[in-house]
Amino acid sequence: MPKFRRHHNRTHRVFYGWYVVAASFAILFLTGSASTIIGVMIKPIGDDFGWSRTSISSAIFVNMAVYALSLIITGRLYDRFGPKWVIAGSTVLFAAGFALMATMDSLWQFLLYYGVIAAAGFGGTTVPIFGSLMGRWFDKWKGLAASLALAGNCLGQFLLIPVFSDLIDGSGWRITSLWIAGLCGAVGLVLTLTVIRGDPGQLGLKAYGADSGKQSAMKKLGRAAAVVEEPRGAAAPALAPAAVAARPRDLTLLEAMRTPALWLYTFVMFVCGSGDNFVTTHLVPMVTDYGVSTSVASNMLAWLGLISLAGILVAGPVSDAIGYKIPIAITFAMRVVVFAILLKYQGIVPFWVFSVSFGFTVLVTAPLTPMLVRTLYGVTHIGFISGFIVTVHMIGGGLWAYLAGIIFDNTGDYRLAFWISLGFAAAAAVAMLLIREKRHLPKEGSTGTGPRADT
């Protein structure tokens, strides 16, 4: 192994992390479409079984709740064992859930197969895990790397949703479920087992840009900290306090919970998830309720996914330049505007405007969340802390998709759901601006389990 590592460092001109980016892109290309296809399946499944939107939305709520809980587990496993086996095991569960969906004939089976089994697989095969993975492989350009990897989620939704929609029309939702299971299972496992590596150190490498970043930091440290002179004959010189303070200990989740920033951002992500999943779940049925064809409605959902690619490609480099909270706050201000437009106007043109505009905001937080966590709390517990935050995001998404179904069944439309979403988006924009985007330090003497962290 040592010989291989030396040879690897000497001969590979392309940093291996870019192969990890490419593999992550391909996996997310498939899971991105699979995670949103349920919005196209709502009416066909409801027509086959006579289920209300509340009933179908209940399975989506269970799915998101289990997904949220699985993120905590996979985040912890990720920190302890690395992503390779977490992603591989999750891929098996994800594929099994969709394969079993093809056999279901009752609501409890839908709740189990899609709501529990597939959801458990989602936890290790979607955006949060891969965003954290980019944080391990890249020190420089980490925002760009995360954006490129997560772009697969958007392109998959854009290119595959129309294909799966046509397959549903031609062969039914059961055959479509089998295709999703086969593609995601086969491709995901092959790429995970052959390409994905959890840490540059496994190949004798360092994170991209780590050396240059360390050199820059040492130059600054050299100007700020002096070596304390010791009497002649002392064992070794000691660093001045400034040098010791330059390398703070990373915060644990419990310590992060004692800072206002975590709870502000957790609220923001709850709102983010509620808006994301509400729209991606109910957009197609809502638009078809106004007489738009299923094919056109599916294309709206597909374009929503494509435009979300533009959002994350812009967010990554911009965040590298100006930080994370301003881009995120702007996306929620945009949501206020697009929700207001949809409440004022209904029709095929307003629906297209809404789909494209909302799409730009959907995945902005995906690459930025682990990076913001790293900035605030350090890298040691990035998976666990990010998993907690995204867990709340998913619970918000599942709960609001379910409540929107109840609102529809009781009022006949989604207007009240959109009004509430507008108010939440405005509150999230304000909350984001209140976050102090700086490194949070543990209280002096803290070991990670006791005293309060710096706020």
pLDDT at 212: 55
Q: Is there a domain that residue 325 lies in? A: yes
Listed residue (365, 347, 186) closest to 272, CA to CA = 365
| In contact, 265 and 374? CB cutoff 8 Å | no
Give the mean pLDDT per block of 10 residues along the chain (455 residues): 42 78 91 86 92 92 88 77 85 94 95 94 80 80 79 85 91 94 92 86 76 49 38 42 58 86 94 93 92 91 87 80 89 96 93 94 84 83 81 89 93 94 96 87 58 43
Give the CA angle between residues 176, 179, 183 to the nearest 5°: 145
Say if 209 falls within a structural domain. Answer: no
- The verdict on residue 244 lying in a domain is no
Q: Closest by alpha carbon to 134, among 447, 453, 359, 371?
A: 371
Counting the structural domains of the chain, the total is 1
Q: Mapping DSSP to helix (H, G, I), strand (E, B) and coil, where does residue 249 land?
A: coil
Structural domain of 389: 12-198+249-433
What lies within 8 Å, CB to CB, of 178 at 6+ separation is 98, 99, 102
End-to-end Cα, the chain, rounded Å: 44
Asked, for residue 207, whether it belongs to a domain, the answer is no
Put residue 148 in one of left, alpha, beta given phi > 0 → left and psi -120 to 50 → alpha. Answer: alpha
Angle between helices 16-36 and 173-194 (to 10 degrees): 170
The answer to whether residue 455 sits within a structural domain is no
Look up residue 239 and give its DSSP letter: E
Per-residue model confidence (pLDDT) at position 198: 77
So what's the pLDDT on residue 449?
45
Query: What pLDDT is attached to residue 360?
Result: 92
CB 17 within 8 A of CB 138: yes
Token pair in block for residue 407 = 């609102």
Residue 6 forms part of a structural domain: no
| Cα–Cα dist 87/223, whole Å | 44
What stretch of H or E contains 174? helix 173-194
Q: Could you tell me if residue 414 is inside a domain?
A: yes
Q: Yes or no: say if 265 and 389 are a contact pair by the CB < 8 Å rule.
A: yes
CATH of the domain at 137: 1.20.1250.20
